[in-house]
A and B are shown apart, each in its own frame.
Chain A
Amino acid sequence: AQSVTQLDSQVPVFEEAPVELRCNYSSSVSVYLFWYVQYPNQGLQLLLKYLSGSTLVESINGFEAEFNKSQTSFHLRKPSVHISDTAEYFCAVSDAGGAQKLVFGQGTRLTINP
């Protein structure tokens, strides 16, 4: 069975600073990887996903994540954050070739300070 570990429960950063949210997973099979974002009082929204191909995937709002198979990681990065990026971020993994059964990490709360 898969599992996901988000190493930081909270990450405070200043506006326009870079940020990295860490995610490690464990699985005995090939996986698909996802990052979801949850803004206050809302449900989760897909931010980006890795299915196959290029190990670097990007979102439309400047986030990127890199799949590193040897380190079983899928860290999320942004070179310059904005106040509007304040949210909770969830890493998730599903079994490639299997049924949809996303396993989520515990989430990382990103707080942007002016």
Chain B
Amino acid sequence: ETGVTQTPRHLVMGMTNKKSLKCEQHLGHNAMYWYKQSAKKPLELMFVYSLEERVENNSVPSRFSPECPNSSHLFLHLHTLQPEDSALYLCASSPGTGGTWALHFGNGTRLTVT
């Protein structure tokens, strides 16, 4: 398998649930990212990891908790979410964190909070 794989593709959860989104990249990249894509809004960068170390946390509420156990895997743990958190969550990777690198995206997890 190649590229960036995200699971699950769709997730419906209640506000009191705890769930996790998973991302795996098979590209040998050193940097991984979580983005939030909401309707009619620009993509919002949530977290950046470089060599498993978090290098960016873009003022994301604590109900979103990232985890990067190794350079190939990235998780986003979710708990006590709000309906406005419903969105497409995109994982991406890049060879490094310099500005020249293009991002390789997964197909996303469509999250609905009820």
Contact = CB atoms under 8 A, between A and B. Distances in A.
A42 B40 CA distance: 17
A49 B100 CA distance: 9
Contacts of B107: 41-43
Given A43-B4, A100-B31, A100-B48, A94 B43 contact: no
Nearest to B97: A100
A63 interface: no
Interface residues of B, number: 27
Contacts of A96: 99
A104 interface: yes
Nearest to A48: B102
A62 interface: no
Contact of A51 (B6, B94, B100, B106): B100
Contacts of A45: 105
30 contacts: A9-B40, A32-B99, A36-B103, A36-B105, A41-B107, A43-B6, A43-B106, A43-B108, A44-B103, A44-B105, A46-B104, A49-B102, A51-B100, A90-B43, A94-B99, A95-B99, A99-B55, A99-B56, A99-B97, A100-B48, A100-B94, A100-B96, A100-B97, A100-B98, A100-B103, A101-B45, A102-B45, A103-B42, A104-B42, A104-B43
